[in-house]
Chain A
């Protein structure tokens, strides 16, 4: 299982940028261009080429993927994720570097590629299967399974132009989900359909992963990436930012998009009227910082510095999920903490949060302080630090995932009498 499946070395892709029009030439432009070339060379001599004409969508990317690994490719828009997948699926050629793939590749960059509105579900199923590289015999064998998965059996002989968006997507994904290559390259497929369908897709992807296939998955759905992938690759501006276990990759990504940005107050804290030091966070059992199991209490500590005379202050601890929803917001004031009056200096703050049974995933935690009677700059924020919760996970977007005890016994018939 540890055999290399994908080997990427120094991969790069350069694109011409500009308006859509300049991507293709007209014959007139080429003829004029040829005629004007010697002249332009004279004029341009000594001047550098205008910058911004070409851009590296991907540059110097190297990594290895072992057989059976499910790797999440994450990064912001324009980081080069799709370009990477397109090169690996051989849709486009790299400008530099090389890649080696061991095994049959199935790529799924879009669901429903090649679907034709006028054709029926059945006809499209065969056509799309062939486009994705399935043999006719293979499609025939899986036909019933695909139709059942798509839940469209009644409409299989209806032209797809009469399908609802949901039916269309279900059929398209169903075909793709029944591909059986050794290496599967998937781009943002999970972003389609309603929640129930997304859940079904995720379930199917999990099955694929369990079968020991190698999967490279591009997605913006971090919850999905975390639950499906074992490893991650983070791309930033065309380069490889990090590659490693999926937890730290997702964290890096969230840092990149500013979910854990260092607050401007934290650096100013040394000189301003108040400020926080570094926030550290740990569970009882976990050795790695910032990672706790959903069933254990968590300890948070930081330094709070007061740089001016004040009657008192209030401190709030805020935990948010990655969609920015507030999970909780708890506050305490200096009087209740037994600090009265408050003198200039540093205070150590310790907070114990009980077991919360949060749905496994990534959250962010930060502190906020308000000084009493301070009108100019009423609030001070600490850095946002990641709170990585492990344990049970439900794919549907919920905040809590408590461990309940379940019981079920048959009702005894005679009791009714």
Chain B
């Protein structure tokens, strides 16, 4: 195009070595960092596409947990009377649904993410962690909208946040990590085993019932104590710690999460680290199989 194109001299020429890899690969998080703009654009695309051509747009982010809350309140709160640690049942269940919705959407989307972006995986190189990563993180937008609505609900029921709300960022980090950990496992498994896509929705449904969204965790710990088992066992479900932690942090009432939360943190770290390594191990065959 231009006649004055002088090739610039670069002192630092990156060298790429390509050879068959064996065993467990390193995570190469520096590379994920180098591709952060792609991560940003993929999140932006997810969000943009989701709300294009929808009449209600971002209102969906509130409607989903809100309608679930209404149904839960009528059937579990009123009819079955499952209890809510002394809180109004609607706000009790909405606080639980806030984190649960993020988790359920996140693992649904990330488990499908590699397969549905197969055109990218087969044609372009980039750290594959970016794909399930963007699926999980794009849920933060919906989460944000639903979170703001939560404060409206709290004002309505005259439940004021206390100092415990300061723990929120850490709990959010825990929520994202737990979602990412499970999401990475499922995304990698879904490439190899296509049954995963049929299993996930069912699996998410079951998981809801073993997580204290509908009922308070105190009921479970009471039952566990009756059986002579320690309360922390419930924390093996990482979402048990997350949901209870969220409720405690937001509403400032109810039992302080102790051993359950601690065990959930440990399980989350384990899931995230093992998920990332498993994903990296499987990554090399994605382009051939997907």
Contact = CB atoms under 8 A, between A and B. Distances in A.
Interface of A: 15, 23-28, 30, 86-105, 107, 109-110, 113-114, 116, 118-119, 123, 126-127, 130-133, 135-136, 182, 207, 210-212
A304 to B, nearest CB: 54
B169 interface: no
B16 A105 contact: yes
Interface in B24-46: 37-38, 40-41, 44-45
B14 A103 contact: yes
B11 interface: no
Top 10 A-B pairs ranked by shortest CB distance? Answer: A99-B18, A130-B41, A98-B19, A90-B125, A101-B16, A92-B287, A93-B284, A113-B123, A212-B7, A109-B123
A26 B287 CA distance: 18
Given A15-B288, A23-B289, A27-B195, A89 B125 contact: yes
Contact of A98 (B7, B18, B120): B18
- B10, B41, B49, B285 interface centre (most CB from chain A within 10 Å): B41
A96 B123 contact: no
A159 to B, nearest CB: 8
Most chain-B CB neighbours within 10 Å: which of A28, A98, A133?
A133
Nearest to B115: A24
A91 B122 contact: yes
B190 to A, nearest CB: 9
Contacts of B124: 89, 91, 107, 109, 113-114, 131-132
Nearest to A21: B194
Nearest to A183: B16
Interface of B: 1, 5, 7, 10, 13-21, 37-38, 40-41, 44-45, 48-49, 52-53, 117, 119-126, 191-195, 284-285, 287-289
Contact of A101 (B15, B37, B45): B15
B13 to A, nearest CB: 5
Contacts of B48: 118-119, 123
Contacts of B121: 91
B18 A24 contact: no
Contacts of A131: 38, 41, 120, 124, 126
Most chain B CB within 10 A, of A92, A94, A100, is at A92
A203 to B, nearest CB: 9
20 contacts: A15-B288, A24-B289, A25-B193, A86-B287, A89-B125, A97-B19, A99-B19, A101-B18, A102-B13, A102-B15, A105-B16, A109-B124, A114-B120, A114-B124, A119-B45, A127-B45, A131-B38, A131-B124, A182-B13, A210-B5
Nearest to A114: B120
Nearest to A23: B289
B133 to A, nearest CB: 14
B15 to A, nearest CB: 5
Contact of A130 (B7, B19, B38, B192): B38
B125 to A, nearest CB: 4
A87 B284 CA distance: 11
Contacts of B14: 102-104
A87 B13 contact: no
B37 A98 contact: no
Contact of A113 (B16, B17, B119, B289): B119
A24 B125 contact: no
Contacts of B126: 131, 133
A114 B119 contact: yes
Contacts of A91: 121-125, 287
A210 B3 CA distance: 10
A92 B37 CA distance: 23
B16 A207 contact: no
A94 B123 CA distance: 16
Scoring A25, A93, A100 by chain B CB atoms within 10 A of each residue's CB, the highest score goes to A93
Contacts of A30: 193
B125 A107 contact: yes
Contacts of A207: 1
Given A92-B288, A126-B41, A24 B191 contact: yes
A90 B193 contact: no
A135 to B, nearest CB: 6
A130 B37 contact: yes
Contacts of B10: 182
Contacts of A89: 124-125
Nearest to A103: B13
A369 B88 CA distance: 101
A63 to B, nearest CB: 14
B107 to A, nearest CB: 18
Contacts of A133: 38, 126
Contacts of A100: 15-18
A113 B120 contact: yes
Contacts of B119: 110, 113-114
A101 B17 CA distance: 7
Contacts of B191: 24
A110 B123 contact: yes
Contacts of B195: 26-28
A91 B128 CA distance: 10
Contacts of A130: 37-38, 40-41
B37 A94 contact: no
A247 B119 CA distance: 35
A67 B287 CA distance: 28
Contacts of B15: 100-102
B20 A95 contact: yes
A132 B191 CA distance: 23
A24 B20 contact: no
Contacts of B285: 93
